[in-house]
Chains A and B, each alone.
Chain A
Amino acid sequence: MAVVTYLEAIRQGLWEEMERDPAVFVMGEDVGVYGGAFKVTEGFINRFGPERVVDTPISEMAIASAAYGASLTGMRPVGEFQFMDFITSAHSQIVQILAKSNWRWGAPAPMVLRGPTGGGVSGGPFHSQNNEMAYVHTPGLKVICPATARDAKGLIKSAVRDNNPVLFFEHKYLYRRIKEELPEEEYTIPIGKARVHRQGKHVSVITYAATVYVAQEAAELLAKEGIEVEILDLRTLLPLDRDAIRETVEKTNRVIVLHEDTKTGGIAGEIAAIINEEAFDFLDAPIVRVTSLDSAVPFSPPLEKAFMPQVEDVVRAARRLVAY
């Protein structure tokens, strides 16, 4: 069985869905002959033709809303943004048109908008952002942020099959760094279900996307000190898996919420509120947030490193919680 990167896993998922269902098609900037800025759709135009691999003018708003228009005719479009930073250029369409469509006038929008997100690659403030929370705050959308190749493939397939507008944030730092063996047989991963990435009993780190691996490194260091860290990978931010959050709190009684997104208004605050509402009695210590700083994403490596949450930040927080 071949070892497959996170990026190849997404390619496989999209390819399989396009083979399975002719209603699925991709559209975006440079997705055709060039194969997309990160080569996610490379070769797709030969297999599926220019009709189902649609190069568009540079307009994220038109990609989002033309995909939506096509979905009104029963198609299942997958729109690509070259960087998820540019999702803000389609914000009005996503929030006002797509998200409200089923609620407002009973018109479902079975469609996906996907693209690379996140930092760690010196992309600077316009090619590194984590914009997911603007959309987690928008009822009617689904928001997926996978961390593993297996999940990336299984979740992109579920996203394509979902009858709602799904935003699929692919972490570009993971694209070619994460590799794993995937099942031979076809599979999907359900939207809205978290995954325990590592079992532990002393502290839970609730996280998603690239910081799953920050948590993993921290857990390996902490294990040497006898601190067993449980890592919960949320996988989907909207809808959130509240059961999984509650279960890990009940198990470890100490919680770090870790994310690469900035602190204020990040999902950590929402998770802390959920724990307050549903599992407060199980807490033995305050909930700690480990996140990026409240600023834009800097370009130069030392600045970006200072901006993003590091392994030692998680280690420090875990020690503090255990000693609390």
Chain B
Amino acid sequence: MSTKSLTAPEKNAAAPIGVSPHGIPDWRLEQIPFHIESEWVNGEFGYKIVGETDTPVPPLRPSKYLDKEKSIEIYRLMLVNRRMEESLERMYKQSKVIGGLYLSLGQEACSVASAFALGKDDWLGPMIRNQGSMIVKGFQPRDTMMQYMGKAGSPTRGRESGSHYGDHRVHNVIAPISHLGDSISVLAGCCLGARLQGRNIAALGYIGDGGQSTGPTYEGFNFAAVKKLGVILLVEHNQWAYSTPVEMQFACKDLADRALGYGVPGVILDGTDANQVYDATYEAVQRAYAGEGASFIEAKLMRMKGHAMHDPANYVPAAVKEYWKRRDPILRYENYLKAQGWINDDELKAISDGVNTWMDAERDFAEASPMPDPADAATDVYKEDGPIALKYGPVVVHEANQRAQLKESSAPGHYK
């Protein structure tokens, strides 16, 4: 990797751009050659493109860590992610989905390849669009489908919608909340709890380019950084915070520069490239296991749909959508697998057919689930008494003085 600061990179060179102006490694193969500015046109305020959008798509660079089998599995899981959402989109149009539907078209590599780098005991803190990550962590498409339909069989028994579910027993997924950034310190706490039980684990959390503007993002990640907890903050920089372009969300060029302020390693990568996403997350996970603490990843990509199904995203200039459509993460990965000689068209079709058959069965299962019993609306507000097991084993404390006694405290001199 070059350590030279390249302010004017050679366009489309098949090598990492190098480092950001502030010294953050940038593993992309190209920089986004345009940005958005606002303008008035005939009395209407809107957005225009400044720069080029028709630059060619570079072929993916091989992963440092993924072999053929794992690469094909990542491809399959990205396809599961997309087909599940296509199925949900149809169900939405059939009025089977209750409330909003949040899709991650164009973000599948970021969800799937990052979660794929986690171990079984590691935690995931998804956001609304990381439905693919949750499948990697062990949930089934039917779970997300039933959530969106408010079914009794959904993981939250109809109490919550969409990807707002989790599991603290087996899958280690925190149920997201709508408040942006609030899960980051929860992940830090999971790592803290594990460390007290003698384990250095990793906990992968996502935040958007918009969500990272919140105070809880800073407070949570600073907590993880200073306590050397294995939180991996993956900023999914998908260009638009609902309808607000990133140019109106933050003043810095690369969000990964904030890693310097947190005092943790940061990296910039292309979020439509599953290899880059996996490699960076894998390295961050290994850091966590070694007790070296938190890591910061900025993945640049594009939200190809609106904020939710009700939003056609007309505010996004058409040429921007076209630029990113050519960088479809699944298409890019398919081309990569073929170029590696790891897969042929027949094998690709077999994977696709398998996913389709499975998804139909998942949809049928979800649709057949009954609606919840009204008597279940306000049960389980409290957990009953009883032991709660330690997840990782007995508490391990290295430093303590068994002979120290409780003495009367010294009086503070204030607020007497």
Interface residues in B273-288 (C-beta closer than 8 Å to A): none
B409 touches A39 (CB 8 A): yes
Task: Using CB atoms, name the residue of chain B closest to A98.
Answer: B186
B386 touches A163 (CB 8 A): yes
Contact residues in A for B410 (Cβ distance below 8 Å) = 35, 39, 42
A68 touches B189 (CB 8 A): yes
Contact residues in B for A105 (Cβ distance below 8 Å) = 155-156, 160, 165-168, 175
Query: Complex: how many Å from CA A49 to CA B415?
Result: 28
Interface bits B150-168 vs A (CB < 8 Å: 1, else 0): 0000011001100011111
* Contacts known (A108-B383, A163-B385); A72 close to B189, Cβ less than 8 A: yes
A103 touches B159 (CB 8 A): yes
Interface bits B396-412 vs A (CB < 8 Å: 1, else 0): 01111110111111111
User: Is A244 interfacial (CB-CB < 8 Å)?
Assistant: no
Query: Complex: how many Å from CA A31 to CA B132?
Result: 41
B383 touches A69 (CB 8 A): no
User: Is B197 interfacial (CB-CB < 8 Å)?
Assistant: yes
Contact residues in B for A37 (Cβ distance below 8 Å) = 412
B400 touches A48 (CB 8 A): yes
What's the nearest-Cβ distance from chain A to residue B296, in Å?
Answer: 17
Task: Using CB atoms, name the residue of chain A closest to B385.
Answer: A163
A40 touches B409 (CB 8 A): yes
What's the nearest-Cβ distance from chain A to residue B200, in Å?
Answer: 13
Query: Complex: how many Å from CA A165 to CA B122?
Result: 24
Task: Using CB atoms, name the residue of chain A closest to B191.
Answer: A69
Task: Using CB atoms, name the residue of chain B closest to A19.
Answer: B406
B179 touches A140 (CB 8 A): no
Contact residues in A for B179 (Cβ distance below 8 Å) = 92, 96
Contact residues in A for B166 (Cβ distance below 8 Å) = 105, 107
Query: Complex: how many Å from CA A42 to CA B404?
Result: 12
A59 touches B222 (CB 8 A): yes
User: Is B13 interfacial (CB-CB < 8 Å)?
Assistant: no
Interface bits A146-182 vs B (CB < 8 Å: 1, else 0): 0000000000000000111000000010001000000
Contact residues in B for A70 (Cβ distance below 8 Å) = 189-190, 192-193, 196
B406 touches A12 (CB 8 A): yes
Interface locus among A50-58, A129-137, A260-268, A300-308: A50-58
Contact of A51 among B178, B219, B397 (CB under 8 A): B397
Contact residues in B for A92 (Cβ distance below 8 Å) = 179, 182, 216
Query: Complex: how many Å from CA A70 to CA B185?
Result: 10
Query: Complex: how many Å from CA A313 to CA B272?
Result: 69
A65 touches B400 (CB 8 A): no
Contact residues in B for A76 (Cβ distance below 8 Å) = 388
B397 touches A48 (CB 8 A): yes
B406 touches A43 (CB 8 A): yes
Interface bits B305-344 vs A (CB < 8 Å: 1, else 0): 0000000000000000000000000000000000000000
* Contacts known (A47-B406, A69-B190, A105-B167); A75 close to B381, Cβ less than 8 A: no
Contact of B397 among A38, A42, A52, A109 (CB under 8 A): A52
- What is the count of residue pairs linking A and B with beta-carbon distances less than 8 angstroms? 212
Contact residues in A for B155 (Cβ distance below 8 Å) = 105
B160 touches A72 (CB 8 A): no
Contact of A23 among B168, B178, B189, B395 (CB under 8 A): B395
* Contacts known (A47-B400, A51-B398, A69-B186); A107 close to B193, Cβ less than 8 A: no
User: Is B382 interfacial (CB-CB < 8 Å)?
Assistant: yes
Contact residues on A (Cβ < 8 Å of other chain), bracket:
35 or more
* Contacts known (A47-B401, A97-B177); A107 close to B168, Cβ less than 8 A: yes
Contact residues in B for A233 (Cβ distance below 8 Å) = none
A66 touches B382 (CB 8 A): no
A61 touches B193 (CB 8 A): no
Query: Complex: how many Å from CA A77 to CA B395?
Result: 13
Contact residues in B for A54 (Cβ distance below 8 Å) = 192, 227
User: Is B69 interfacial (CB-CB < 8 Å)?
Assistant: no
Contact residues in A for B197 (Cβ distance below 8 Å) = 73-75
A22 touches B188 (CB 8 A): no
User: Is B294 interfacial (CB-CB < 8 Å)?
Assistant: no
B395 touches A73 (CB 8 A): no
A11 touches B409 (CB 8 A): yes
* Contacts known (A51-B397, A66-B188); A25 close to B383, Cβ less than 8 A: no
Query: Complex: how many Å from CA A35 to CA B410?
Result: 9
User: Is B8 interfacial (CB-CB < 8 Å)?
Assistant: no
Contact residues in A for B400 (Cβ distance below 8 Å) = 47-49, 51-52
Interface bits B351-383 vs A (CB < 8 Å: 1, else 0): 000000000000000000000000000111111
Contact residues in B for A96 (Cβ distance below 8 Å) = 177-179, 182
Query: Complex: how many Å from CA A104 to CA B406?
Result: 40
User: Is A62 interfacial (CB-CB < 8 Å)?
Assistant: yes
Contact residues in B for A101 (Cβ distance below 8 Å) = 175
What's the nearest-Cβ distance from chain B to residue A175, in Å?
Answer: 9
Query: Complex: how many Å from CA A47 to CA B397?
Result: 11
B415 touches A172 (CB 8 A): yes
Contact of B380 among A39, A93, A103, A116 (CB under 8 A): A103
Task: Using CB atoms, name the residue of chain B closest to A38.
Answer: B412
User: Is A121 interfacial (CB-CB < 8 Å)?
Assistant: yes
Contact residues in B for A12 (Cβ distance below 8 Å) = 406
Q: Could you list some 28 contacts between A and B, CB below 8 A?
A: A8-B408, A22-B394, A35-B410, A38-B415, A46-B404, A48-B397, A49-B401, A51-B196, A52-B395, A59-B222, A61-B185, A62-B185, A62-B222, A65-B220, A68-B186, A69-B190, A71-B193, A74-B197, A92-B179, A93-B182, A100-B177, A107-B166, A121-B415, A142-B382, A162-B385, A163-B385, A163-B388, A172-B415
The 7 closest A-B pairs by CB, nearest first: A69-B189, A73-B193, A70-B193, A66-B189, A108-B383, A49-B400, A22-B395
Using CB atoms and an 8 Å cutoff, list the residues of chain A in contact with chain B: 7-8, 11-12, 15, 22-23, 25, 35, 37-40, 42-43, 46-52, 54, 56-57, 59, 61-62, 65-77, 92-93, 96-97, 100-110, 116, 121, 123, 127, 139-140, 142, 162-164, 172, 176
16 further A-B contacts with Cβ under 8 Å, apart from A51-B195, A69-B187, A108-B388, are A15-B406, A23-B390, A25-B196, A48-B400, A62-B220, A65-B182, A66-B185, A72-B193, A73-B194, A100-B177, A104-B156, A105-B165, A105-B166, A140-B381, A140-B382, A176-B416
